[in-house]
Amino acid sequence: MERFTGNFTQQEPIPEEAIARAVEVMRSGRLHRYNLSPGEEGEVSTLEREFAAAMGSTYCLAVASGGYALACALRAVGVQPGDTVLTNAFTLAPVPGAIASVGAVPVFVGVTEGLVIDLDDLAAKAGEAKVLMLSHMRGHLADMDRLMAICDAAGITVIEDCAHTMGARWNGRLSGTDGAVGCYSTQTYKHMNSGEGGLLVTDDPEIAARAVMLSGSYMLYGTHTAAPGPEVFDEIKYHTPNVSGRMDHLRAAILRPQLARLTEQCERWNERYRAVEDGLRGTPGLTVVERSAAEYYVGSSIQFLLLDWPEAKLLDVVARCKARGVELKWFGGAEPVGFTSRYDSWRYAPSAPMPASDRVLKAILDMRLPLTFELEDCALIARIIRAEVGAVWQG
């Protein structure tokens, strides 16, 4: 019986160029983003300028984490305590957590079998909030043309959580550039790795200025090279609180060489994704999540559905795959496990039952695809999943 012996949490090494630059930064002793020599731009500001250019955005801010970027964006667009904010029922805890952290109240929108936000449910709930925090959960992009039409018609400001879609596109537009703000993560399991870290992009000068002040710039905003001019800060600098969450030069130094190779890395992930997807197609009882032709995705993880399976059989598949070295995560559990949780797990954000979404969530099995896997590994993993799903299905 075949067995996979790889590690689902082992990422590729940090590039040697990034390691060398990080060592230079450490030797300088100047790690804080505002600890600069005269005339020096600094790694953080340079990263912001380069990332803004890569995303085709006007402004960029580098921060301590993706979750911080989300909360910062909420504050920067004017969300106040007690406000309601729409968000996905299928997401990870930092998304409703960011909403709750600013004193706002999440209102959950359903998920489809395509693992994207249910646009019919969004249209039905559009009158309940003025902000949508849209989670492109596990790299799945909704029809962004229709979504933006719904939100524009209802006067809803869109903040995009692009933790899983850095480098992805909808109809050629980069993920994070349709909404008012795009937020990205550089945590180890994301598309660029600095352990922790986040980036925020926008074309709105006032949102950008508020985000810079919120991040803890004191009155040193003039050192930012991907921020608006001083006249914009003059309007808001005395009215915007400091909620410090800056990125440091060390993490920025690690990220800049990775940004330069992002396009290549996205293609490598997609090769692995397609190898697993091809191996799973046609498995009895298993639903492959089909992708739209308008979507250029980044397949750093893969999901499939075992729709309407009894819980015991779902758990049997997970256990049997694990025994053969394949680690699957299930999103249907009543209790959070590791990174997995669902909307009714977050008791600080109560919600009415969502039976259609519950059916989808109960069916989701999820698996990381680190770039340390070879294509042959991916084919093997698919064979193991196919065999174990088939054995339980027939049993």
Q: Per DSSP, what are the bridge partners of residue 106?
A: 85
Q: What is the pLDDT of residues 70-84, one digit of tens each?
A: 999 999 999 999 999
Give the DSSP H/E element, type plus range, for residue 182.
strand 181-185
Report the C-alpha gap between 66 and 197 in whole angstroms.
6
Task: Return the pLDDT at 342.
Answer: 85
> What amino acid occupies position 31?
L
Instruction: Concatenate the DSSP letters of all residues of 74-96 into one string.
Output: HHHTT--TT-EEEEESSS-THHH
Task: Return the pLDDT at 136.
Answer: 98
C-alpha 208, offset from chain centre? 20
| Phi, psi (degrees; rounded to nearest 5) at 340 | -90, 135
Rounded mean pLDDT of 240-256?
98
Specify the residue for token string 């893969």.
Answer: 302
Question: Is the pLDDT assigned to residue 15 strictly greater than 90?
Answer: yes
> What amino acid occupies position 180?
A
Q: Residue 356's pLDDT band (boundaries 50, 70, 90)? A: very high
Q: Same topology for domains 16-260 and 262-394, yes or no?
A: no
Q: Residue 333's pLDDT band (boundaries 50, 70, 90)? A: confident
Task: Return the pLDDT at 337.
Answer: 82
Token output for 33: 């983003």
Task: Return the pLDDT at 319.
Answer: 97
Residue ranges per structural domain of the chain: 16-260, 262-394
Q: Is 115 helix (H, G, I), strand (E, B) or coil?
A: coil
Q: Residue 68's pLDDT band (boundaries 50, 70, 90)? A: very high
Please name the fold of domain 16-260: Aspartate Aminotransferase; domain 2 (3.40.640)
Task: Return the pLDDT at 345.
Answer: 86
Task: Identify the CATH assignment for 262-394 out of 3.40.1350.10, 3.40.640.10, 3.90.1150.10, 3.40.50.2020.
Answer: 3.90.1150.10
Q: Residue 341's pLDDT band (boundaries 50, 70, 90)? A: confident
Question: Is the pLDDT assigned to residue 334 strictly greater than 80?
Answer: no
Rounded mean pLDDT of 210-218?
97
Token output for 43: 């790694």
Token output for 56: 């085709």
Q: Tell the burial category of 238 from Cβ atoms under 10 Å away from its Cβ (0-12, 13-18, 19+).
A: exposed
Question: Is the pLDDT assigned to residue 344 strictly greater than 80?
Answer: yes
pTM of this structure: 0.97
Cα separation values, 394 from 314, 325, 389, 390, Å: 13, 22, 9, 6
Which residues have a Cβ under 8 Å from the Cβ of 84 and sit 6 or more positions away? 104, 105, 106, 107, 128, 129
